[in-house]
Structure 1
Amino acid sequence: MSAPGQGSWQPDPEGRYEYRWFDGQQWTDQVSQQGQVLRSPLGAPPQSGLGAAPAQPAHQAQPVGQAQPLGGADGFAGITGELVDGRFSEKEAKAIANQNTKMLRVRLGEPFMARQGSMVAYQGNVDFAFEGGGASKFIKKALTGEGLPLMRCAGQGDVFLAERAYDVHLLNLTNSGLSISGKNVLAFSSSLDWNIERVRGGSVVAGGLFNTTLRGTGWVALTTDGPPVVLNAAEAPTFADTNAVVAWSANLQTQLKTSFKAGALIGRGSGEAVQVSFYGNGFVIVQPSEGVQVVAAQ
């Protein structure tokens, strides 16, 4: 039996269904039969079919173990509806996981790094502190324009992160490296070493390509402006627009390729003037967006 205030599925005390929801103080009218959540008050007359006649189906069929309504069967402080019926409740499955496609939830154990301003909510006792990365990284950011404003998150609780409603993707690194555009970094574990490095084969004059490199063992959450494509660079030489490429395996060989076509040399906004070429065994992540385009004044 659950402790007071803690709800859970329990075998139906009447035996008419597989499970009945106990809210920590009393049995409710929510029951589960064959993976479907229904409503049937205690003492309702039996009927053929599932074993009893449900008063009405729940708003959304939910397998056993998924999030339940915030306020139990009677709603949250007298409020009912899809926003409080459980489908948007906090996901509890893993310490670090996507809350949904646009939001990351991190349960604090070890401190982690996050983009400044990316916290949209938190629960518990959490401390946020500026993370400068040292004088060398500060100078590199000033000289290269590769911006990665970070904050260190520490304490106990859950932190929810998002950035401009971009899609959030979670990767795990095991003694490996990832080169990622600073604007696409959402958060990463403090166990990873990070630095600002010039893309091999490039220079400030040739395009000014500097990326943030993460190395070691840990997790990293990155964002993309839309669903990305992951290309296998080992299959063939791979080229990507400098404004659309998000990240790649740090072991890949890179080279900048400049297009000399007449229509492609009109500044950064054209998008096709400079591409990055990739060679080797690894992957390249490309988003379906070239970022905010700069339109010249007429």
Structure 2
Amino acid sequence: MRSELFSADNLEKESNQPGLRLQNSKLLKAELNGEFMARVGSMVAYQGQVQFEALGSGGLGKFLKQKLTGEGVPLMKVTGRGDVFLAENAADIHMIDLEPGDALSINGANVLAFDSTLNYDIKMVQGVGMMSNAGLFNCVFSGYGRIAVTTKGTPVVLSVDQPTYVDPQAAICWSANLQTGYHRAEQMGLGTLLGRSTGERFTMSFAGQGFVVVQPSEEPPGGLAGAAQGQQQSGGILGNLMGN
């Protein structure tokens, strides 16, 4: 049988080391010998002796936070020996390696999989108040290990060495040490253009030293932290809970 489908580019990529790696730009391969964490529903194929266990958002504390905020990653623990292939609606996949001392704040909607050695929690995005309908909470990862994140299109990585402003619906992840805030579009001179709305109601600001990853696509409100609806009524209690 002959076909371009069977070209070397499309054949399964093999490695001598277990772990997460790219099969191609839209498909993640986990060479499994132990366990890792993945988004529920992201498995597209697997080979070998593999078990899948749904975990909600990862532990009781994170589950309660997820229920209150709507944010978090619906997780499954993948264990065993074999090869597991993961994808998310043909989105582009990117690998990020964290080392001790690193901390990364990620939009939960963009987390595909990560090593179980990493620490993960749901945190309030500081400085946002109640101004934005894009959400107030993000997933913060720290420790040592690898994370696979998704983007719609090829992203740009901005070095934050001067005041930086991003559409909150396009922000994928950023250095967790950055100072964040929100500005109304009118404050930035973007609210109206020749008497017409630009559609840019809020802009997210970043300050400090680090980076922010921006995708060339604006997710619907709720993409940044999942739960746009109902947050207007939940400020004080949630603020105290998420600060822990």
Give the shorter-chain TM-score range: 0.7 to 0.9
- Deviation at 1:144? 1.6
How far apart, in 1, do the equivalents of 2:210 and 2:77 lie?
Answer: 30
1:288 lines up with 2:213 in the alignment: no
- The aligned residue for residue 156 of structure 1 is 81
- The aligned residue for residue 190 of structure 1 is 116
For the residue of structure 2 that corresponds to 1:108, the secondary structure is: strand
- Deviation at 1:204? 4.3
- Deviation at 1:287? 0.1
| Structural RMSD (CA) | 2.0
Gaps of 5+ in 1: 1-78, 265-269
Structure 2 contact 72–122 (Cα < 8 Å) conserved: no
- Deviation at 1:101? 0.5
Tell me which structure has the larger Cα radius of gyration: 1
Aligned identity (percent) is: 49
How far apart, in 2, do the equivalents of 1:196 and 1:258 lie?
Answer: 25
Q: Which has the higher helix share?
A: 2
Aligned pair count? 210
- The aligned residue for residue 113 of structure 1 is 37
For the residue of structure 2 that corresponds to 1:83, the secondary structure is: helix
TM-score w.r.t. length of structure 1? 0.66
Structure-2 change in CA distance of 1:86 and 1:206 (3 Å): closer
Structure-2 change in CA distance of 1:223 and 1:169 (3 Å): same
1:31-70 superposed Cα distances (whole Å, 9 cap, x missing partner):
xxxxxxxxxxxxxxxxxxxxxxxxxxxxxxxxxxxxxxxx
Deviates more, 1:224-233 or 1:254-263: 254-263
- The aligned residue for residue 241 of structure 2 is none
Structure-2 change in CA distance of 1:123 and 1:289 (3 Å): same
Structure-2 change in CA distance of 1:89 and 1:181 (3 Å): same
- Deviation at 1:259? 1.9
- Deviation at 1:252? 1.0
- Deviation at 1:85? 3.8
1:203 lines up with 2:125 in the alignment: no
Structure 1 contact 101–167 (Cα < 8 Å) conserved: yes
How far apart, in 2, do the equivalents of 1:101 and 1:148 lie?
Answer: 21
2:105 aligned to which of 179, 182, 202: 179
The residue type equivalent to 1:118 in the other structure is S
